[in-house]
């Protein structure tokens, strides 16, 4: 990690830069693939699956028999762990339901709002170097609670044309309706446009590499909604003398192992703490199966020492991290001042891994600074809210003149007339 001691505020944007690919070059390549999928459909999906995943597949849909076979292969203890996590995720997201309220804004004018699930949603689940079966729970459970009628899952096959058993078990557990062995850009294209047995959906959810993220943003321009713009995973840690260096190192590594383009940031008030964390990083790195990936991520990660707590908070709000861990004596007080973050983890005993798997909150979160304007996935992500209004005879007599006046001022005569005719009918 690069170390900075009380850096000048003018240098903060440079210090906090994310490691990103050349977006222009990436977008061109992704657009060419999407265009071919849009025009050729299933044959293009087959072509790119063979090209990128190294496997020839003719039947992309996963059968019930395959799901049952996969379920038998999942360790019983893992199944039990997933069921506990699913229960917590269910409980937290179900609590986000809101009661229908009818409001009389003016005598005789009643308005209300009704939540309706998006009918068809697509879930993208990465399955390459790390099959993210936990993401199936994070996306499938709120989709089911929201009342989405069709939940379509796409995930890449291995070189034998199979999907990781834990992904299939999780999909069965949460009630996914269709599963396809399609990954990468071709999966996003299939969900956005429809291809063969893959239905066109109304909104696509899920993380992925930079190619997948570029594909999601391109299809969102005119074809389908997406959950949020996102990129490589990231974590920031705010720490003081009360923090445990070993815990901090483990949290930094938990994000660094996601991928070489992940980023971790430590902001603290002690150079001694940075040194202790670096010692722990070196010790813990040797125990990781994904050590080489984590080392690459750490090469563009930073540790920043600031003596002023307000400046520490200001830097975090400028960075707007996907995940923020606050390991400080007054963590609740500090948390109240954080306005830009995807998900916040409080105190020494709240690892970011808790949110990734089983505490109940969602781990699909805005990265690359998008936490300034986007929320993480929640129940609202899977619903639309339709407004209703009912105006009685008395209501139109009270509100009608207001509408007439405003419509006339905007020179929209037909709008005014729609009210005037009703008022005249009541005389």
The verdict on whether 323 is a catalytic residue reads yes
Eight-class DSSP state of 195: B
Q: Which of 280, 322, 352, 363 is catalytic?
A: 322
**Exposure letters 396-420 (e unless 16+ CB within 10 A, then b):** bbebbeebbeebeeeeeeeebeebb
Residue ranges of alpha helices (H) inside 257-389 are 271-285, 291-299, 309-319, 331-335, 352-357
Of the candidates 81, 286, 266, 39, the one whose C-alpha atom is nearest the C-alpha of residue 169 is 81
Contact 364, 378 (CB under 8 A): no
**Cα separation, 199 vs 192, whole angstroms:** 8
Given the DSSP bridges, would you call strands 263-268 and 234-239 parallel, antiparallel or unpaired? parallel
The yes-or-no answer on residue 69 being catalytic is: no
The tokens of 188 are what?
């996003």
CA distance 164 to 184: 16
- Measured between alpha carbons, how far is 172 from 167 in angstroms, rounded to an integer? 9
Catalytic residue among 257, 323, 352, 363: 323
| Residue 364 near residue 206 (C-beta atoms within 8 A) | yes
Strand order in the sheet with 302-305: 2-5, 302-305, 263-268, 234-239, 323-327, 343-346
Question: To 10 degrees, what angle do helices 133-146 and 76-94 make?
Answer: 40
Residues acting as catalytic residues: 322-323
């Amino acid at each position: 990690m690069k170390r900075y001691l009380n850096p000048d505020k003018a240098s903060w944007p440079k210090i906090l830069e994310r490691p990103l690919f050349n977006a222009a070059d990436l977008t061109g390549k992704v657009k060419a693939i999407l265009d071919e999928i849009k025009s050729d459909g299933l044959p293009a999906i087959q072509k790119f699956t063979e090209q990128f995943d190294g496997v020839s597949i003719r039947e992309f849909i996963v059968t019930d028999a395959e799901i049952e076979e996969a379920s038998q292969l999942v360790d019983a203890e893992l199944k039990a762990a997933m069921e506990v996590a699913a229960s917590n995720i269910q409980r937290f997201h179900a609590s986000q339901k809101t009661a229908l309220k009818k409001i009389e804004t003016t005598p005789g004018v009643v308005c209300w709002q009704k939540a309706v699930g998006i009918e068809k949603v697509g879930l993208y689940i990465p399955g390459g170097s790390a099959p993210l079966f936990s993401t199936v729970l994070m996306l499938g459970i709120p989709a089911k609670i929201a009342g989405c009628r069709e939940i379509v899952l796409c995930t890449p096959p291995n070189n034998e044309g199979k999907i990781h058993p834990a992904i299939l078990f999780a999909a069965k557990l949460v009630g996914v309706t269709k599963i396809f062995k399609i990954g990468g850009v071709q999966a996003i294209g299939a969900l956005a446009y429809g291809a063969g047995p893959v239905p066109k959906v109304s909104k696509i959810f899920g993380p992925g590499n930079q190619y997948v993220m570029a594909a999601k943003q391109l299809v969102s321009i005119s074809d389908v909604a997406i959950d949020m713009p996102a990129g490589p995973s990231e974590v920031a840690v705010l720490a003081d003398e009360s923090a445990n260096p070993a815990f901090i190192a483990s949290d930094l590594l938990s994000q660094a192992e996601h991928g070489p383009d992940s980023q971790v940031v430590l902001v603290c008030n002690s150079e001694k703490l940075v040194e202790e964390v670096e010692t722990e990083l070196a010790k813990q790195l040797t125990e990781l199966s994904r050590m080489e990936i984590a080392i690459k991520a750490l090469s563009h990660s930073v540790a920043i020492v600031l003596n002023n707590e307000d400046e520490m908070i200001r830097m975090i709000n400028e960075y707007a991290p996907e995940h923020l861990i606050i390991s400080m004596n007054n963590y609740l007080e500090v948390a109240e001042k954080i306005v830009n973050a995807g998900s916040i983890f409080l105190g020494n005993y709240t690892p970011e891994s808790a949110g990734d798997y089983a505490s109940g909150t969602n781990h699909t979160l805005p990265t690359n600074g998008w936490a300034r304007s986007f929320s993480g996935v929640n129940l609202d992500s899977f619903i639309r809210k339709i407004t209703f209004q009912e105006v009685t005879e008395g209501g139109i007599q009270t509100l009608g003149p207001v509408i007439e006046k405003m419509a006339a001022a905007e020179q929209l005569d037909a709008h005014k007339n729609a009210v005037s005719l009703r008022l005249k009918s009541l005389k």
